[in-house]
Structure formats: C-alpha cells, structure tokens
C-alpha cells in the first residue's frame, strides 16, 4: 500500500535510541538458522552450538622430548659423577607408531618427541642428560640427571578432556578456534547462516570506480566501504551496482534484492533527504510493512550529526511459491556522503548484522583521552567528531584526541581516524582540555608512530614514503604553517613543517614557539601556475632581474579565476602579500576558493576550474610556471618530542644524502 506522504515520518526526528527500538520491534531480529559448514569454510563464522570434545587431546601419553622412556625410580640419585646405568631395550619408539614393548624396571627405551609412552614407563629423560655405553654399539644408557614421575610426558587428556566444552555458541571463529576444532578430529561444525546483505548505490551523479568521471560526477566509494564492512561483520554481500535517479528502476532493484537475491537486509546509499525527489524513500514506501497494519518506513530522520536523514524500514515477503516461508527483510537508506553513511551504519546497522549472524552485542572499546581544543556542537543531535589519538608529551598522561575537522563528504576521514567522540545531543560545547571517551573504530588499529602537522610539500611526501618502507607509520595533516605552529606549541604533533617569512625577509626562525626547535629542511621555488599558451600570464609576470615579482594585471580581470591556498598556509601569506602590493584590498575572482595542497592548485588550473594559482615548482609539470621567489621549508619540533625514536628516524632520513639528491633532482633547492 502506497503511503500518501512518505516524508511525513521525517517530520518527527527521533533519538538514536528510539530509532534502534523501533527498527528492532519491526524486524524482531534473531540469529539466523544453523547450518553445518566444512572446516575449510569456518573462519569468520559464528558458532551456533557448543562444541564438546569427542576425544581426549592428546589421545595418548606422549613424550615431549627426544630421549629415553624410563621408570622414574630407576634414575633417583643420578648425577654427573655417579650416573644410573640402565639396560637399553631394542625397540625405538618413533612418532606415530604404537610401541610393542613393555618397559621393565632397570630398562630404557629410545623414544622420539611425540612418541607413545610404552606400558611400564612413567618418565622420559632428555637425550642431553644421557650417554650411551658403549658409544659404538650401545647396550646401556647412563642417566646423569634424575627424573620424577611424569617428567617430559604429556598425559592423555592433559590438553582437552573428552566431554569438555571447548567452544561455546556466539563465538566468531578465528584461526585459533578452527585449530581446536581440527585437533578434535572434526571436519565441520554448526554455525549460523551468514546474513545476506544486498547493497545498491543510487544517483545520476555516481559512476563506478574505473569508469571515466565526467565533470560533476563522483566515483562510488560507498558500495565498496559498506560491502567490505559487512563482510568484516560476517555477512555475505550482494553488490547490486548503481541505479540512477529513476523511481521505477529503484523499485525494481529493491524488489529484486528482496525476492530474487533473498537478502536479509538491503542497504541503499544516497537519496535520504527530506526533499521531494527522495526516490529511495518513495520506493520503500510502496512496499508492504513488516506486520499487518504497519508501514514499511519505520523511521525517517534520526538525531545524529552527521546522518540525520537516515531512513530505516522493514517489509515482509514470501519467498518461492505463494505458500512459501514468510520473511521480514530490513531496509536501510543511508546518506550519500561517505562519513555520514559509515557513522549511521556503525550506529544502527552493524548491531543488527551482529544479531543476525549470532555474534550478539560487541563491547565497544573506548579510550580515555584529553581534548586539546574546544568543540562546538548542535543541540538536539548527537554529534560525532572523528579524532586521531596522539601520545601526550607526558608519558603518564592519557593520549590526546585531536579532531580531524573533516565534513560528512570526506572520503578519507574514516581512513585517517583512530576513533570518534560522541557528543550528547544536549551539549553545545565541549571545553578544551576536557576528558573525553574515544570509541575506537577498529580495535586492531595501532596509533601512528609519527604525526606531522603543518605545511604540505611533495618533498615531505617522499620522506614519509621512505619512513613507511622502514616500518614507521606516518600520518600527514595539511593544516598550513600556522596550523602546524599551533600544534607544535601545544605538543600535539611530532613535526610541524613551515615556510613563513617576516617583514625583514627572514624565514621561519622568528616564528618558532617557545619549547620548540627549528630543524633546517630545504628550499623550494614558489611560482605562478597557469595553462601553457595563456598569454594573459606572460611577462611582465616574471620577476625582473634584481627586482621583486609583480602579479600581472590579468589576475584582476573579472573573466579570470584564481585558486587560492588554505588560510594559515605559508603560500596563502605569500599570495596576500603579492595582492596587497599590487592592488591593496582588491580580491581577484576565486579568492575564497581554497586548495589544501600544491597538487590541488595544479589540478584546479590544469582542469580549467581556475586560470591561475601559486604553488611550488615540483607540481608544475605540464603547466606554465613563472618563478616568484625561493623560500625555506623547515621543520619545527617540540623539544619534549625530539628524542622519540620516530622523530630521530625522521631527522636521519631528512639528512640522508640519497634523499637529498632525490630532492635536488625533483627541483628542490638542497644545500650541498
């Protein structure tokens, strides 16, 4: 039955807790049915029933060493100077062979590691504690160290006793658990059926990875991120590809996922807003509800930031013939922005998948940390702030939770974050230096070894690549020279690259904060980038001999568009100085369009989105480059972090002759 107004639920934004309760009440989720899976397919599955040992492990008394099976009392009193002499029996007990002899008092039998202890023996002496007599054709063994009963023997059932429950239901099986199952002699085990999750991306602006991307289109990353996350949670994923903004096509794909693909859960990415063009919500509204008298849309609008437009639904279907089993299928329409999609997934979809897979609730791993700067929040919505964890200068202090400051459209934010802070919907501000709890995104994620915050440079990328190859985890955050100096002053980073010049023409040294040291780096040439053949930027744009660079008049032409650098960067300071010298307070068209890196400036000019910008020479390949000035690119390091091993490795790499030769060949100005 079609709802007359599929958007009406959106007018009642609910809390995450209420959204969870409503969705679960509609779906009534429980672990999926059990099935037998072969041993080779068990890893990652969730055990559906307890496994009790059908046999003892080990199944026999076995030797832990190469040596001789003996009666322990025959060795009492043995020493280096007065060894005990035992008759050497003819049988050699090899691994995997049942012994045929019974050991008598005063005798010893040769036995290999893993060999079955013969009847009558109650200890094994290591070969290192014995001598053969005579060495050439031994008939006796001289024992130089006494053994106690049970020495060097693993008795039957000492590891696992027959009937003992070794693995319990709800356990996700990894290599250790599958090894135990194999050791019990089992070639299969009962596990819950894997949830089938169908994933569909929607939108005319989406193109598949690998396909050409026309201007205005974006490559679909959500399907890959969501599919891989579902598989990590133990689900079987059906990737349905991309459907454009066509209601009939979306309805057909949704019905196919539910009926033909027999999905337990369908995820749609994109199109969850409250606008009239929300086709995914309209397609869901057309489906029958999960129970008589109920609508398919359960919630549309959750008090989350990012992720408010999240839509949750449920529908019922009969699979196979009309008399077939009835199934309730969950549907989640996630926001199109990557960060929003992943936050809403982890908040509401991941718990459902764990329940269906039989894994139950996962305890959330939280880390106590300190927030170095204040965060503003919007009252009425639970807000998530992605953070990186940075070691405090004080080794006994909790780590620092450094906010990433990325928007919901950021593709890289989740990849670079160690975790996130959840700000309660009634809180408008979290003060600087507040104690916070950071929920780890991945418990296995290790913090980086070296955090570099400040000005971006392609030469720095080369250093980071070398350190990564040496096993040192490096993270670069391009926040400009100003941002790097602030981070260094607060002890929030290990290295802050800067290139700032004061009014006297002195680079970097005047800006070093107290408690920090300046390490010389290298030089680089800044210049004006334009497209080849664009005569508007021909000389006199270049610097005359002995004079200062002067911007060409064309930069103030209304038809000419610039691309600027981000505020706080040294290049932005240079641009503002050039503009002030040329025209006072006049601002060229495009002044507020900021690129966060030199490559970003070059790409913007090369693609025709802007006509000119300022960047370093190493990114100017294929573009016209008019030199402006040579500058210093140096590194500020907090004194308290100077002796950290990763910082020492950075400094060693920076001064490596091979690296400096590589920088020189790339066009950087390297001191001899």
Q: β-strand 196-202 against 84-93: which pairing, if any?
A: unpaired
Among 357, 380, 400, the domain-final residue is: 357
Task: Return the pLDDT at 425.
Answer: 83
Q: How far apart are CA 398 and CA 477, in angstroms?
A: 22
- 213 in the same domain as 323: yes
CA distances to 39, 236, 644 from 177, in Å = 11, 21, 39
pLDDT average, residue stretch 185-209: 93
pLDDT in tens, 103-125: 999 999 999 999 999 999 999 99
> Which CATH number is 408's domain given?
2.40.340.10
CA distances to 41, 401, 456, 498, 511 from 481, in Å = 52, 21, 8, 4, 10
- 403 in the same domain as 543: no
**For residue 548, what pLDDT band results from cuts at 50, 70 and 90?**
confident
Task: Return the pLDDT at 333.
Answer: 94
The answer to whether 301 and 274 are in contact (CB under 8 A) is: yes
Token readout for 2 is 């079609």
Instruction: Give the chain's end-to-end CA distance (angstroms, integer).
Output: 78
Bond from prior residue into 540 cis (ω within 30 degrees of 0): yes
Has residue 3 been placed in a domain?
no
Has residue 672 been placed in a domain?
no
Q: How far apart are CA 601 and CA 487, in angstroms?
A: 24
Q: How far apart are CA 470 and CA 454, in angstroms?
A: 23
Task: Return the pLDDT at 672.
Answer: 62
Has residue 55 been placed in a domain?
no
Has residue 113 been placed in a domain?
yes
- 335 in the same domain as 321: yes
Has residue 350 been placed in a domain?
yes
- 618 in the same domain as 583: yes
- 224 in the same domain as 204: yes
Token readout for 289 is 């509800």
- 500 in the same domain as 416: no
Q: Is the dihedral of CA 411, 369, 353, 234 positive or negative?
A: positive
Q: How far apart are CA 565 and CA 601, in angstroms?
A: 8
Q: How far apart are CA 248 and CA 152, in angstroms?
A: 73
Task: Return the pLDDT at 309.
Answer: 86
The percent of residues in the chain predicted with pLDDT above 90, rounded, is 60
The answer to whether 638 and 494 are in contact (CB under 8 A) is: yes
- 131 in the same domain as 84: yes
pLDDT average, residue stretch 590-616: 93
Q: How far apart are CA 556 and CA 558, in angstroms?
A: 6
pLDDT average, residue stretch 56-60: 91
Has residue 318 been placed in a domain?
yes
96 phi, psi to nearest 5 deg: 85, 5
pLDDT in tens, 384-418: 888 888 877 777 888 888 887 655 445 666 677 88
- 566 in the same domain as 492: yes
Q: How far apart are CA 89 and CA 101, in angstroms?
A: 9
pLDDT in tens, 339-363: 888 888 988 999 999 999 998 777 6
Token readout for 277 is 């063009």
Find the domain containing 234 and state its range: 8-31+194-357
- 572 in the same domain as 545: yes
Residue 1 has pLDDT above 50, yes or no: no
pLDDT average, residue stretch 455-462: 91
Q: Is the model more confident about 373 or about 651?
A: 651
Burial class (CB in 10 A: 0-12, 13-18, 19+), 117: buried
Instruction: Give the total number of structural domains in the chain.
Output: 5
> Which CATH number is 594's domain given?
3.40.190.290
pLDDT average, residue stretch 209-238: 90
The answer to whether 230 and 290 are in contact (CB under 8 A) is: no
**For residue 655, what pLDDT band results from cuts at 50, 70 and 90?**
very high
Has residue 489 been placed in a domain?
yes
- Count of Cβ atoms closer than 10 Å to residue 283 Cβ: 26
Token readout for 564 is 């600027």
- 281 in the same domain as 269: yes
Q: How far apart are CA 391 and CA 176, in angstroms?
A: 32
- 43 in the same domain as 25: no
**For residue 18, what pLDDT band results from cuts at 50, 70 and 90?**
very high
Token readout for 665 is 């060949």
- Count of Cβ atoms closer than 10 Å to residue 142 Cβ: 16
pLDDT in tens, 22-53: 999 999 999 999 999 999 999 999 999 999 99
Q: How far apart are CA 304 and CA 345, in angstroms?
A: 12
Token readout for 364 is 């959330």
Task: Return the pLDDT at 448.
Answer: 81
Token readout for 222 is 């959500």
Task: Return the pLDDT at 375.
Answer: 87
The answer to whether 667 and 618 are in contact (CB under 8 A) is: yes
293: left (phi over 0), alpha (psi -120 to 50) or beta: left
Task: Return the pLDDT at 413.
Answer: 67
Task: Return the pLDDT at 288.
Answer: 93
The answer to whether 111 and 67 are in contact (CB under 8 A) is: yes
pLDDT average, residue stretch 65-78: 97
Q: β-strand 51-52 against 62-63: which pairing, if any?
A: unpaired
Task: Return the pLDDT at 365.
Answer: 78
Residue 443 has pLDDT above 70, yes or no: no
Q: β-strand 218-219 against 165-167: which pairing, if any?
A: unpaired
Task: Return the pLDDT at 625.
Answer: 93
Has residue 160 been placed in a domain?
no
Among 315, 338, 357, the domain-final residue is: 357
Cα 131 → chain centroid: 57
Q: How far apart are CA 637 and CA 508, in angstroms?
A: 13
Task: Return the pLDDT at 395.
Answer: 75
Task: List Cβ neighbours of 258 (8 Å cut-off, separation of 6 or more).
Answer: 198, 266, 287, 315, 317, 329
């Amino acid at each position: 039955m079609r709802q007359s107004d599929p958007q009406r639920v959106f007018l009642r934004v609910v809390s995450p807790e209420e959204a969870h309760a409503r969705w679960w009440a509609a779906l009534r989720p429980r672990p999926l049915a059990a099935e037998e899976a072969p041993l080779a397919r068990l890893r990652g599955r969730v055990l559906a029933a307890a496994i009790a040992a059908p046999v003892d492990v080990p199944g026999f008394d076995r030797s832990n060493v190469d040596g001789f099976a003996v009666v322990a009392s025959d060795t009492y009193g043995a020493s280096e100077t007065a060894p005990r002499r035992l008759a050497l029996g003819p049988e050699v007990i090899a691994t995997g062979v049942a012994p045929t002899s019974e050991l008598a008092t005063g005798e010893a039998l040769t036995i290999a590691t893993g060999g079955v202890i013969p009847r009558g023996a109650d200890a094994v002496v290591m070969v290192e504690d014995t001598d053969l007599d005579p060495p050439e054709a031994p008939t006796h063994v001289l024992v130089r160290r006494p053994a106690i009963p049970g020495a060097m023997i693993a008795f039957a059932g000492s590891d696992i006793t027959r009937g003992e429950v070794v693995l319990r239901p709800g356990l996700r099986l990894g290599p250790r658990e599958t090894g135990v199952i194999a050791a019990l002699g089992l070639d299969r085990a009962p596990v819950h059926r894997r949830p089938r999750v169908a994933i569909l991306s929607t939108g005319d602006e989406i193109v598949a990875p690998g396909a050409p991307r026309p201007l205005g289109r974006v490559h679909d990353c959500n399907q890959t991120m969501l599919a891989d996350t579902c598989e990590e949670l133990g689900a079987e994923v059906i990737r349905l590809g991309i459907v454009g903004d066509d209601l009939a096509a979306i309805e057909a794909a949704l019905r196919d996922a539910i009926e033909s693909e027999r999905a337990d859960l369908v995820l749609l990415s994109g199109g969850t807003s409250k606008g009239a063009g929300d086709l995914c919500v309209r397609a869901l509204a057309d489906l029958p509800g999960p129970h008589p008298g109920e609508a398919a849309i359960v919630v549309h609008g959750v008090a989350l930031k990012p992720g408010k437009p999240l839509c949750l639904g449920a529908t019922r279907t009969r699979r196979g013939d009309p008399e077939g089993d009835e199934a309730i299928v969950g549907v989640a329409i996630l926001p199109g922005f990557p960060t929003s999609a992943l936050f809403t997934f982890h908040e509401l979809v991941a718990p459902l998948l764990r329940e269906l897979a039989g894994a139950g609730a996962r305890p959330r791993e939280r880390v106590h940390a300190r927030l170095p700067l204040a965060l503003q929040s919007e009252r009425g919505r639970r807000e998530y702030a992605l953070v990186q964890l940075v070691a405090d200068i004080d080794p006994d202090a909790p780590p620092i939770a450094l906010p990433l400051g990325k928007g919901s459209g950021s593709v890289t934010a989740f990849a670079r974050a160690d975790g996130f802070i959840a700000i309660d919907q009634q809180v408008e501000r979290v003060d600087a230096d507040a104690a916070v709890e950071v929920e780890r995104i991945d418990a296995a994620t290790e913090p980086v070894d070296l955090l570099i915050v400040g000005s971006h440079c392609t030469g720095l990328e080369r250093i980071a690549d070398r350190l990564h190859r040496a096993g040192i985890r490096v993270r670069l955050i391009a926040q400009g020279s100003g941002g790097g100096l602030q981070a260094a002053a607060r002890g929030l980073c290990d290295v802050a690259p800067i290139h700032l010049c004061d009014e006297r023409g002195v680079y970097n040294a005047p800006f070093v904060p107290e408690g920090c040291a300046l390490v010389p780096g290298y030089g680089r040439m800044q210049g004006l980038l334009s497209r080849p053949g664009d005569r508007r930027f021909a000389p006199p744009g270049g610097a005359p001999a002995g004079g200062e660079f002067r911007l060409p008049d064309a930069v103030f032409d209304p038809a000419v568009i610039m691309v600027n650098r981000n505020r706080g960067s040294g290049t932005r300071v240079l641009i503002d100085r050039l503009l002030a010298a040329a025209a006072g307070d006049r601002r060229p068209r495009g002044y507020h369009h900021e690129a966060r890196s030199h490559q970003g400036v070059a790409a913007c000019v090369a693609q025709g989105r802007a006509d000119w910008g300022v960047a370093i020479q190493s990114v100017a390949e294929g573009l016209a480059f008019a030199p402006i000035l040579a500058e210093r690119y140096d590194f500020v390091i907090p004194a308290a972090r100077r002796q950290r091993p990763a910082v020492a490795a950075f400094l060693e790499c920076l001064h490596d002759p091979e690296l400096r030769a590589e920088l020189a060949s790339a066009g950087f100005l390297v001191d001899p």
